[in-house]
Amino acid sequence: MLKDKIKDLGVKIHQSVVRDRRHIHMNPELSFEEKDTSAYIQSVLRDIGIPFTDGWAGHGVVGIIEGGNSDAAVIALRADMDALPIQEENAIEYKSRNPGVMHACGHDVHTSSLLGVARILHSLRKHYNGTVKLIFQPGEERMPGGASIMIEEGVLNNPAPKEILGQHVYPSLPAGHVGFRPGKYMASADEITITIKGRGGHGAVPQLTIDPIAISAQIISSLQMLVSRINDPTVPSVLTFGKIESQGGTYNVIPDTVELLGTFRTFDEAWRKKAHIRIREISEGIAGSFGAQCEVDIQVGYPFLVNDVDLTSHIMASAQEFLGSANVHELPIRMTAEDFSYYTHHVSGCFYRLGVASIDKSISSPVHTSTFDIDERALMTGPSLMAWLAISRLSALGG
């Protein structure tokens, strides 16, 4: 059976996938700087015998695997390549060699897994019909996101996939398990910068100043009403300010200027646009009422991510067939964001989670932390499952 062949190949190539992952983990590169990572991916695809193009969004690579009847259907598989500006603290032999840069979000896992998928699907290409497009994408962690750029450059054309799949590490599940969420899954994400310009002075005579710190407090408190009273409570939304910074000021000195940095996240595009307007109106109104000036800059980020319901239902059933029902879970929505969302607004997509934790090995650190790591047994599940899902979908699409 094809399923058994895929499982056997998953075991056979496991050490190669581990080697790929450790090499990429040791040599992390920040968003849109993935030159060496791209070169490594190209060398592996070249060794396998898979044709590819490079230079997408800077350092992206797109490979093509043609099955028995390449015109039958096309499906795309995506992995991101970039790392984060974090100093790794793990005491492991494959620890990052680049100071202050680390694969703390598992993109090394995504990339090495997709290289494993490439090995499996290439070796089995006579056993299925259709074409698989492998998308190795740069810049997921940095706006505007490599996905948006690759789409603008035509990555969803020539050939045009009917569906796209992506996977992401998930430390809340052990290795060997996966999770899915049909429908809306991850939130949109926008970056907000609010600058309040007042008039500084001595803290003992505040009447002679226009205090931007006190005004900032009023703005932050009032903007929370945006979520609790203006928003429809059935639409998940989050407004968080993570940084308040003044230019000058100390115990007894009121500064001239304060800058607020925050993020707004939701699942509704109409409300998202309305919220941007209200954030500006509320901030400028409060600042103006106290005699201060206010500048609001909103960088529109990734849209919400929606998993096609029918596709995801089929994928979950296929995953249960491959891994067993006990190892496949339905997940709650998340207010985190992912630029895979761009693909899902152009083509039917499914973005699912790959368990990477291990209780017996004490591997459970969350992503975006300096101690994040994985149980490398997940590198057997990741490639083999995605290869199985790709072939299953090609068959369902008429491949």
Q: Which two tokens stand for residue 371?
A: 């101690």
d(CA 296, CA 288): 13
Residue 66, classed as helix, strand or coil, is: strand
- Catalytically annotated residue among 20, 108, 140, 375: 140
Buried b (16+ CB within 10 A) or exposed e, 163-183: bbbbbbbbbebbbbbbbbbbe
Packing angle of the helix pair 378-396, 309-323 (nearest 10 deg): 130
Got the DSSP string for 174-228? Answer: ETT-EEE--EEEE---EEEEEEEE-B-EETT-GGGSB-HHHHHHHHHHHHHHIII
- Catalytically annotated residue among 82, 108, 190, 211: 82
Q: Which of 105, 99, 85 is nearest to 26 (CA)?
A: 99
Bond from prior residue into 159 cis (ω within 30 degrees of 0): yes
d(CA 366, CA 275): 30
Q: Which residue's structure tokens are 């840069």?
A: 101
**Catalytic residue at 80?**
no
Residue 158, classed as helix, strand or coil, is: coil
Q: In what order do the strands lie in the sheet with 131-137?
A: 52-56, 60-66, 131-137, 74-80, 163-174, 348-357, 178-180, 328-330
Contact by Cβ (8 Å): 349, 307: yes
d(CA 100, CA 133): 33
**Catalytic residue at 140?**
yes
Q: Which two tokens stand for residue 74?
A: 């096309």
Strand partners, 66: 131
Q: Which two tokens stand for residue 338?
A: 């992912």
**Active site residues per annotation:** 82, 140
